[in-house]
Amino acid sequence: MTTDPPVRLARPEDAAEIAAMSRDLIERGLPWTWRPERVLKAIRHPETNVAVARVDDELAAFGIMEYLETDAYLALLAVAPSRQRTGLGTEIVGWLEASAIAAGARRIRVEARRDNVPARNFYNELGYHEVAIRRGRYSDGVDGVVLEKWLRGAGEG
């Protein structure tokens, strides 16, 4: 019987692997901005959750959620290629959404590259709706698509 790996908060020792996965999967072909120091800062920041899932002691997926006043922003989400389409991305997002509700967030926003149709479809399947286009958002000139999801249970005690 196979079970999903547990999702947990990242630890400082996860920072280098998270940064490498971001560089290889999210920032490929772009300037590398989520270096280990920045990831470590996010792990330690009181208004940010960095969630990870490990399989066989290897990083399988991660997500970084930043909290603003009543909104949360899903800054990064990545799943190792060998673990994609296994439900792990959905598991990480669900964990982060539950954390956002607990933190009092009413809405989550995320941005995907306009040319990243699989990511946009993934978020749409999870109840996120495309609400804006950010023209030329990325350094290579590709537009960004802003998606958002209003959270049920937000602010309920």
pLDDT (tens digit, 9 = 90+) per residue, 45-103? 999 999 999 998 899 999 999 999 899 999 999 999 999 999 999 999 999 999 999 99
Residues 6 or more apart whose Cβ sits within 8 Å of residue 98: none
What CATH number should be reported for the domain holding residue 130?
3.40.630.30
Are 10 and 62 in contact by the 8 Å Cβ rule? The answer is: yes
pLDDT (tens digit per residue) in 124-139: 999 999 999 999 888 7
Note whether 120 and 145 are within 8 A (CB): yes
In a domain, 49, yes or no: yes
Instruction: Give the domain extent around 18.
Output: 7-150
Say if 155 falls within a structural domain: no
pLDDT in tens, 35-61: 999 999 999 999 999 999 999 889 999
Alpha-carbon gap, residue 134 to 107, rounded angstroms = 19
Torsion angle (degrees, nearest 10) of CA 55, 108, 68, 41: 20
Residue 2 counted as domain residue: no
Residue 131 lies in a domain: yes
Note the pTM of the prediction, 2 decimals. Answer: 0.90
Residue with tokens 């479809």: 121
Report CA 56 to chain centroid distance, whole Å: 21
Q: Is residue 117 part of a domain?
A: yes
On whether residue 156 sits in a domain, the answer given is no
- The answer to whether the Cα torsion of 39, 126, 105, 144 is positive or negative is positive
Q: Is residue 157 domain-resident?
A: no
Considering its fold, how many domains does the chain have in total?
1
* Cα–Cα distance list, 121 to 74, 84, 125, 128 (Å): 16, 14, 6, 9
* Amino acid letter, residue 113: R
- Domain assignment of residue 141, yes or no: yes
Contact call for residues 122 and 93 (beta carbons, < 8 A): no
